[in-house]
Structure 1
Amino acid sequence: MKSLRTYAIPFTGLKLGKHEFDYVITDAFFDEFEYSLVKKANLQCKVELEKQETMLILNFHITGDIQLTCDKCLADYPQQVDIKEQQIAKFSDEPVDEDEEVIALTKNDHEINIAGLIYEYINVAAPFIATCGNEGNTPYCDKDMLDRLTKLSAGDEQPEQQIDPRWDALKNIK
């Protein structure tokens, strides 16, 4: 988790107004998270922090590609992402309701770590069903795997149906 210290923004020394931070997110970032959907990535993250008297407004813009596995042909392929999100952090001594999507910062806090937010935004942006594109038409698609799946799903190898002669005897009963 030491490498995630890079994503801690010390806000106490910042003047009121907007400040920009740039991060490069690679495989090492996702290695810090044990059960991540995304393991490989090449992303650029721009964070615009607007410091106000009572709150921080964080605007995230994450672009680049993440490496996913196609659910159809099991080939690895790059998925383009363009993520724009906003997070608000309020300075408050009182706990904030869990229903609100606001981070509470106390007087003792002097920095905000955005690694968890970046991680969530990227994983949520990954498609629920990952496909590498038009079947067999992209350079990443595994055509051999698609052919095998088609062959198995078409039922080319159906065993001959043999009917037990005892059932035929039951058809004659009326």
Structure 2
Amino acid sequence: MKSLKTYAIPFTGLSLGKHEFDFVVADEFFTEFDYSLVKKADVKCKVELERQETMLILNFHLQGSIGMTCDRCLADYPQNIDIREQQIAKFSEEEIDEDEEVIALSKNDHEINIAGLIYEYINVAVPFIATCGNEGKTPYCDKDMLDRLSKLSGSEEQTEQTDPRWDALKNINK
């Protein structure tokens, strides 16, 4: 978890107004999370923090590529992502309802760690069905694997002849 400390933004010394922070999300980031859908990444994260009297408004822009495995041909390929999200953090001593998508910050907090938010935004952006593109036409697609799968699935014409005894049974219901 030591590497995730680099994703902490100290806000106590910041003046009111907008401030920008840049982060790089790479492979090491995802090793800190068990069971992550993403293992490889090259993502630039720009965070615009707007400090106000009672809250922080965080605007995220994540852009880059994540390593995915195609669900059709099993080839590794880069999936481009471009994510824009907003998160609000309020200064409050009261407990905020879980229904509200607001982070509560107490008077004792002096920084906000955005590693969990970045992880969540990237994993939600992972496509439900990951495909490398047009079958057999992209540089990442494994054409050999697609040929093997189509051969095993029986999508090619069956050249086997049917047994004539079974053909007689097909005519029973007619």
TM-score (norm 1): 0.90
1:155 CA drift (Å): 5.7
CA RMSD of aligned residues (A): 1.8
Cα deviation, 1:108-143, whole Å, max 9, x if unaligned, reads: 111100000000000001111000000000000000
CA distance in 1, matches of 2:164, 2:120: 56
Secondary structure of the equivalent of 1:53? coil
CA distance in 1, matches of 2:122, 2:8: 18
Q: Which moved more, 1:151-160 or 1:106-115?
A: 151-160
2:146 aligned residue: 146
1:6-21 equivalences in 2 (<5 Å)? 6-21=6-21
CA distance in 1, matches of 2:144, 2:75: 11
1:86 CA drift (Å): 0.2
1:128 aligned residue: 128
Unaligned regions of 5+ residues in structure 2, if any? none
1:92 CA drift (Å): 0.5
Unaligned regions of 5+ residues in structure 1, if any? none
CA distance in 2, matches of 1:56, 1:19: 11
2:35 aligned residue: 35
2:44 aligned residue: 44
Percent identical pairs in the alignment equals 74
2:65 aligned residue: 65
Q: Where in structure 1 do 4 or more consecutive aligned residues deviate above 4 Å?
A: 155-165
CA distance in 2, matches of 1:145, 1:52: 55
TM-score (norm 2): 0.90
